[in-house]
Structure 1
Amino acid sequence: MDMPELVAPVKPVISAAELACLAELEKKVLWLATWMIHNANHLRESRDGLKVGGHQASSASLATVMSALYFHALRPQDRVAVKPHASPIFHAIQYLYGRQNLDALQRFRALGGAQSYPSRTKDHDDVDFSTGSVGLGAGITPFASLVQDYLESRGWLKSQPGRMVALIGDAELDEGNIYEALLEGWKHDLRNTWWIVDYNRQSLDGIVHDRLFYLIQRMFRANDWRVVTVKYGKRLMAAFEQPGGKALKRWINQCDNAVYSALTFGGGAAWRKQLREDLAGEAQTLALIDRYTDEELGQLMTNLGGHDLETLLEAFAAASADDVPTCFIVYTIKGHGLPFAGHKDNHAGLLTPAQVAELRSRHGVAEGEEWHKFAGCHRSADELEAFLARAPFNQRPAARQHAASMALPSPWPRLGIAHGSTQEAFGKLMNELARGDSDLAARIVTTSPDVTVSTNLGGWVNQRGLFRRARQRDVFRDRKLASAQKWEMHPSGQHIELGIAENNLFLNLAALGLSDRLFGERLIPVGTLYDPFVARGLDALNYACYQDARFVLVATPSGVTLAAEGGAHQSISSPLIGIGQPGLVYYEPAYADELAMILERGFGWMQQPEGESLYLRLSTRSIEQPGRDITPELAEAVWRGAYWVKAPTAGCRAAVVYCGVVAPEALAVASQYGDDVALLAVTSPGRLYAEWHHQAHACWLAQQLRQLPAGAPLLTVHDGHPAALNWLGAVDGRRTRSQGPTRFGQSSDAIDAYQLHGLDAAAIAKALDSLLTQ
């Protein structure tokens, strides 16, 4: 696919007066970011003696780029994922706009202050996408663009489409999720996405490989992105036009990254010495460089595109003419404008107090005015304030967007399954929702990494269709070839099919789950995958939860019950992920009616400010269903996380506690012991643990266990790591023994698997006997 070429603007992008204001603000942004980090490390009281850090060098490399973006190129509807280490630059820009307060800057990286990395939930200023785990901030932007397309296709977008912009360090391109996201974007005809690569040629530990930009270009072009290289600033380009300039340009193009960095740190005299040695036979070039003082030569040789406002503004303006996804490879210098610019060790480096004092003098900032917005600026405060007020980005509303909650259909679907699995029940419930016309169903968006049918979403997709901006017919159905699936894609479809990449699933769920706050329109995301592969996307899942994205994650099938698939597919520790992951509450229902109750409550709760996302661990094992009436009391207990299937008696000697699909085994054993053994069903280890952690003896689980006679022990049974339930005895000091898999399994049938891991009735009874005789 041929990308349209960029055409430089015919007239100047910005007036001379405006450019002068922008240049002043660029300097001020660099100073404020540098001072913010210096204050945190050298001036603010240190109570723990630990280095605070802040990445002065990594911030400096993007000062010009971010100034050009935020003060001129960005529009109110654009959304930005800021490179994690450029957080101080972002906070400084927000401070100049009046969207960040001084106290937060002064407490940078301290409690209640500006965060080390931009955070939607922790920062006071308006962060679009949290960043921190490198690569994920970039990775979410194609999915946010896809969500924007989804909303636009329904007429729900409240403005013109915005650009999803990612500012990326060149070393972030080592992260594998980057390539997964690029490929998925290609599949969905990605548009309105800019990635701006801060090509400063340094990573944490050293210099990046030479000619990396060639690979970057090929990678993006292979995925139908336009690549724009912003390499030289105006002064260098003018020098190239002078006699001897071609040889100078050729020398720069051939200079390896390590040498360029070392010369940058060495300064003008080092540049002159090296150029004289390497270009000794180029008389015109030597004459050219001799026109410059050492200081001027150093400035010329570091006049890269990423530090030249005019060059950047022209590139951004040219790319704004269409919605083609664009990668800008922007050449910068790590630490630009600071004393350690270019040094390979500057990543975690901090300026000394003496160096900061010299920088303050160079910026014209008087002592005591370090935090003043316009101290040291040559333009008046009124002129700069007026410039900021006119900036397109500053027209964005100060308050974040919110959307109304979607009402649940009434009555809620009841499944009436006599014998079946929780995975089957999930599919039937989604199918029932799809058949209705509720507001909730209209806002549900399902998504899955190539396991849509095998996780029982087929019925939903058959009725609601797959989302695609351009209609694509189901060839099998058109040709009248037998198929259970109606695989038609169209703009009104409500399922987003993904390739086999779990990171992409969680990034997509993150973008969908932030739709109300990014675009002002609520969506209800439901994502499915195999439970063993939650761990493959765990970094992106954590990222989604950290941003407080709201979604339902259906992980199925799960456990060693998935016997024939073998040990690699038999999830063991995923319940511990569910318990430990903030922002996600984990449920594992045994029965279809429990699942229906959880989803009825959960779809409403996840939309509330105090809500969280849901993680449902389901099974393909078909078991006999209880066929009971759903009372308000039962529904409340299921939601709270536990209820008595067989209530304790006064002479009860122990309780069997089960979670999930092992219900038949637990029930059979408890029944053998009559009134001696009670049976407690746990539907949510995650909710129980969270409530116990915060409320101790007042929690729901403590209330249930108090019905047991004092000293009666617990035997927990779970197709998941025993640690997920083993803690229950600590609630009120009971002896506890736990049955569950702790090692990899192997291919077998479910009967052998249960025997292998001590989940069959005989093993449970043996463990119970041992517990009762102790």
Structure 2
Amino acid sequence: MNQDTMGAVLNRIEGITDGDWQRMSTLEPSEFKAEFFSGSEQLSSIGGSMSDEDIENLRRGGHDPRKVYAAYKAAEAAEGPAVILAHTVKGWGIDSFEGRNSTHQKKKMALDDLIAYRDSLELPISDDKLEDTPLYHPGEDSDEVDYMRSKREALGGYLPSRKSPHTGIETPDESTFSEFDDGTREGQLVSTTMVFVRLLRNLLKSDIGPRVVPIIPDEGRTFGMDPLFSEFGIFSQVGQNYTPVDHKMLMKYKEDESGQIIQEGIAEATSMATWTASATSYSHSASPTLPFYTFYSMFGFQRIADQVWAAADSRARGFLMGATAGRTTLNGEGLQHQDGHSLLVASTVPGCRAWDPAYAYELATIIRHGIDEMWGKDLDVIHYIMLYNENQQQVAKPEGADEGIIRGAYKVQDSAGQPPSIRILGSGPILQYAREASSILEAEHGVSSEVWSVTSYGELRRDGLASERHNRLNPQDKREPYASECFGDDTPTVAVSDYIAAVPEMIQRWVGGRFVVLGTDGFGRSDTRESLRRFFEIDTESIVLAALSALEQEGEMPDGTVEGAASKMGLSLTREDKAE
């Protein structure tokens, strides 16, 4: 380079494509010199002055410690952001690996490669021990170890490292959540999305309020969150430099340098990055924050599933709120918007607890439980909670329901106990249909039924698998899964969900009697809620028919019961789905 007064070598380097660099990495020194130092008299002159040994000793910038050091020093001195582009050779250091595509598939080095690699590193290991893949340590008092330790300490400690200090923050008292225990007055219909906004406001105004981080990528008004805009402000680094169209309204759009709501625009990935930063702040900044990322459940989890996995792997703590949830509850927007599977996807993330609450008090209980897990017990967990935009009567909280809500299921209606009898499981807004079906079964068919609210099939499955493992390793100390405690007898069970059948089927192995699952498998459709639920066979009449079918197959109802009931209720026994 000292001979390159005109920059010919640098221009040559920058003019070679990545593919040619890879190929040239495999050339013999003489071949490399002939190809690289060509195209100009100056290049030919520089190449002619170098021996094959000189060529062989050339290193790409990314493999030259001096150049890497110089690049970092230059980056540190830069006035603004700096990017280092380092040329490297894949498989560098092992002659038969360098620049070759097969490097990615090689699992073991040949003896000749091991010898050459050992020699290049100058390690005192004999040839006869190389194939045993020995570990070499230069000694605790060696210059190498002293150097590495001093530099690591100067950089702040060893990596990977994970600091997980106790939060030491007192969680909100019961009054923050208990206002939802009494339900709503007769005739007052409220969606769980509206309940969440009210609860979020309570948290923002509580003692932990400054640590609550509401994040919305889009559709904040659709979720009914616009009352929070003017009260708590939307964060903007430059404030609000315009007059919004709704500036005269009480609940106007308000951006502020001290705003608390993060509204990223239609950018789920960016929002999830913000959420992850907040969800791990207890560790990287020793300052716990409580993020609530609220999104269209269909768009959100589907688009950010990999980021959720990465966040869980980073031991994130926070809430993901799947608003406008359900295949049939978000009506009229077709297959692109209607979510019937994110609960199943969420169940694949080890640190993610997925919930499908039906009532306001269930939602409040789950959020309180989540805060206690994250801040009270210092658990690295994510809580994914479904929120629905369907207004329904919010019933009062039954006494002693908390344990069942958190464990995944609890009984909301007892059976009269007279055969024939059936058990119906419901979740989210479909629980209402389960209760209606129970009344019809008793009034019109003489079938007694018990009804359960299943708040989390995922938690029931988690407990079931843990119990199975315990029993496998402790055969004399058997533990009964909670799902078996609830549903392990011979009573036929019908589970109905606004999600695909695979969600309730997560507990099938622990259900004792016949198990019938009604789910929303298939694409979404643009139609009314009533029509959608009839099509997917999760409406009241379909639940009644499923219960009667289970009992007829068990011999507890006369032959022909299903056919007669279907005709009476106007249910078709055939279905045409153009997506199939």
The TM-score with structure 1 as length reference comes to 0.63
The Cα offsets for residues 441-493 of structure 1, whole Å up to 9 and x where unpaired, read as 2211111212333233333443322333443356338x943362342221x33
Equivalent residue, structure 1, for 2:531 = 752
Q: Decide which of 487, 512, 526 is 1:733's aligned counterpart.
A: 512
The Cα offsets for residues 707-740 of structure 1, whole Å up to 9 and x where unpaired, read as xxx4210011111112211344431431111112
Equivalent residue, structure 1, for 2:566 = none
Q: Distance in 2 between matches of 1:643 and 1:373?
A: 58
Equivalent residue, structure 1, for 2:304 = 537
Q: Decide which of 196, 210, 227 is 1:459's aligned counterpart.
A: 227
Q: Decide which of 132, 135, 138 is 1:371's aligned counterpart.
A: 135
Residue 269 of structure 2 is aligned to residue 500 of structure 1: no
CA change 1:773–1:634 in 2 (3 A) is: same
Q: Distance in 1 between matches of 2:296 and 2:43?
A: 64
The aligned length equals 518
Unaligned 5+ residue runs, structure 2? 469-478, 554-580
The Cα offsets for residues 721-772 of structure 1, whole Å up to 9 and x where unpaired, read as 1221134443143111111211113211111111111122112111211111
Q: Decide which of 683, 692, 704 is 2:486's aligned counterpart.
A: 704
Query: What is the correspondence of 1:83-162 to structure 2 with a 5 Å cutoff?
Result: none
Cα RMSD of the aligned pairs, angstroms, is 2.7
Query: What is the correspondence of 1:275-314 to structure 2 with a 5 Å cutoff?
Result: 275=36, 278-279=38-39, 282=41, 284-300=42-58, 303-314=59-70
The Cα offsets for residues 54-94 of structure 1, whole Å up to 9 and x where unpaired, read as xxxxxxxxxxxxxxxxxxxxxxxxxxxxxxxxxxxxxxxxx
Query: What is the correspondence of 1:54-453 to structure 2 with a 5 Å cutoff?
Result: 237-241=1-5, 246-275=7-36, 278-279=38-39, 282=41, 284-300=42-58, 303-321=59-77, 324-339=80-95, 340-349=97-106, 350-367=108-125, 371-374=135-138, 381-382=142-143, 385-386=146-147, 388-390=149-151, 393-396=154-157, 400-410=163-173, 411-413=175-177, 414-415=179-180, 416-418=183-185, 419-434=189-204, 436-439=205-208, 441-453=209-221
CA change 1:399–1:574 in 2 (3 A) is: closer
Residue 311 of structure 2 is aligned to residue 556 of structure 1: no
Q: Distance in 2 between matches of 1:686 and 1:394?
A: 42
Equivalent residue, structure 1, for 2:405 = 638
CA shift, 1:519, in A, is: 1.6
Match of 1:400, SS state, is coil
Residue 240 of structure 2 is aligned to residue 468 of structure 1: no
Q: Distance in 2 between matches of 1:689 and 1:746?
A: 30
Unaligned 5+ residue runs, structure 1? 1-236
- Check whether the contact 1:644–1:681 (CA below 8 A) recurs between aligned residues: yes
Partner letter of residue 749 of structure 1? T
CA shift, 1:556, in A, is: 1.0
CA shift, 1:275, in A, is: 4.6
Match of 1:673, SS state, is helix
CA shift, 1:630, in A, is: 5.5
Q: Distance in 2 between matches of 1:637 and 1:568?
A: 34
Q: Distance in 1 between matches of 2:78 and 2:16?
A: 35
Equivalent residue, structure 2, for 1:124 = none
- Check whether the contact 1:719–1:741 (CA below 8 A) recurs between aligned residues: yes
- Check whether the contact 1:729–1:735 (CA below 8 A) recurs between aligned residues: no
CA shift, 1:390, in A, is: 4.8
- Check whether the contact 2:458–2:506 (CA below 8 A) recurs between aligned residues: no
- Check whether the contact 1:563–1:750 (CA below 8 A) recurs between aligned residues: yes
Match of 1:265, SS state, is coil
The Cα offsets for residues 542-587 of structure 1, whole Å up to 9 and x where unpaired, read as 2212222111000011111111111211111122113332110111
Match of 2:430, SS state, is helix
CA change 1:405–1:470 in 2 (3 A) is: farther
CA shift, 1:387, in A, is: 6.4
Equivalent residue, structure 2, for 1:107 = none
Equivalent residue, structure 1, for 2:440 = 672
Partner letter of residue 753 of structure 1? L
CA shift, 1:507, in A, is: 2.8
Partner letter of residue 524 of structure 2? G
- Check whether the contact 2:437–2:543 (CA below 8 A) recurs between aligned residues: yes
CA shift, 1:383, in A, is: 7.0
- Check whether the contact 2:176–2:202 (CA below 8 A) recurs between aligned residues: no
CA shift, 1:386, in A, is: 4.7
CA shift, 1:384, in A, is: 5.7
- Check whether the contact 1:526–1:553 (CA below 8 A) recurs between aligned residues: yes
CA change 1:575–1:382 in 2 (3 A) is: closer
Q: Decide which of 418, 424, 428 is 1:651's aligned counterpart.
A: 418
Residue 303 of structure 2 is aligned to residue 528 of structure 1: no
The Cα offsets for residues 670-708 of structure 1, whole Å up to 9 and x where unpaired, read as 1223471111111111111111121156222222225xx
Equivalent residue, structure 2, for 1:119 = none
- Check whether the contact 1:443–1:524 (CA below 8 A) recurs between aligned residues: yes
Q: Distance in 1 between matches of 2:7 and 2:171?
A: 69
Match of 2:321, SS state, is strand
Match of 2:491, SS state, is coil
Q: Decide which of 455, 464, 488 is 1:683's aligned counterpart.
A: 455
Q: Distance in 2 between matches of 1:611 and 1:291?
A: 62
The Cα offsets for residues 135-156 of structure 1, whole Å up to 9 and x where unpaired, read as xxxxxxxxxxxxxxxxxxxxxx
CA shift, 1:603, in A, is: 1.2
Match of 2:244, SS state, is helix
Q: Distance in 2 between matches of 1:314 and 1:361?
A: 27
Partner letter of residue 2 of structure 2? A
Q: Distance in 2 between matches of 1:713 and 1:384?
A: 67
Q: Distance in 2 between matches of 1:745 and 1:285?
A: 65
The TM-score with structure 2 as length reference comes to 0.82
Equivalent residue, structure 2, for 1:615 = 384
CA change 1:291–1:374 in 2 (3 A) is: farther
Equivalent residue, structure 2, for 1:598 = 366
Most deviating of 519-528 and 416-425: 416-425
The Cα offsets for residues 125-184 of structure 1, whole Å up to 9 and x where unpaired, read as xxxxxxxxxxxxxxxxxxxxxxxxxxxxxxxxxxxxxxxxxxxxxxxxxxxxxxxxxxxx
Q: Decide which of 322, 334, 337 is 1:569's aligned counterpart.
A: 337
